[in-house]
């Protein structure tokens, strides 16, 4: 289930400005999990658990788990992450989140561009995701990248109960 943050909570300080955040992409590692879990809990009312991320990390050959690392003078930080599957010619975006200090600075866009580039290089022809119906920012982002609504899953999310919008990008 692709998700983008739908509310902010306070967090430890990170650099914030209006400029685009330059990031470097890397495969997520087990030692990234404390930072990833912090971003996850800051971003979602029902955050993924450590076990869920460990499953993604252990699903080699299927799962692409990326982190976007940024360094703005205070050392490397994980600015955001994306979890996706690339199977049978299809990209399935399962989870995407950006640290509150890096939101609205192009990190989610850069993550999407990177996973689409990787998926195409692996032969994927289409991309899919689910997003909360009320998450206008995420819906707009996905639409900018050519994803279109193809369906709706009633009551897909809990806390709060809400529909998921199914989106597809064909061709990828």
What are the residue numbers of the active site?
130, 142
Dist. CA 148–CA 153, nearest whole Å? 15
Element (H, E) at 67: strand 63-71
Burial of 96 (0-12, 13-18, 19+ CB in 10 A): buried
């Amino acid at each position: 289930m692709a998700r983008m943050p739908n509310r902010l909570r306070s967090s430890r300080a990170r650099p914030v400005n209006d400029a685009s955040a330059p990031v470097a992409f890397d495969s997520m590692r087990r030692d990234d999990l404390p930072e990833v879990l912090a971003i996850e809990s800051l971003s979602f009312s029902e955050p993924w658990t450590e076990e869920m991320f460990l499953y993604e990390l252990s699903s080699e050959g299927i799962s692409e788990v990326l982190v976007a690392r940024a360094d703005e003078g205070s050392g490397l930080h994980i600015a955001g992450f994306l979890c996706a599957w690339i199977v049978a010619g299809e990209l399935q975006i399962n989870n995407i989140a950006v640290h509150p200090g890096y939101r609205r600075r192009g990190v989610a866009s850069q993550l999407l561009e990177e996973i689409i580039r990787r998926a195409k290089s692996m032969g994927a022809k289409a991309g899919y995701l689910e997003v909360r119906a009320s998450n206008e920012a995420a819906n707009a982002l996905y639409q900018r990248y050519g994803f279109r609504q193809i369906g709706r899953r009633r009551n897909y999310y809990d806390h709060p109960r809400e529909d998921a919008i199914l989106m597809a990008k064909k061709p990828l």
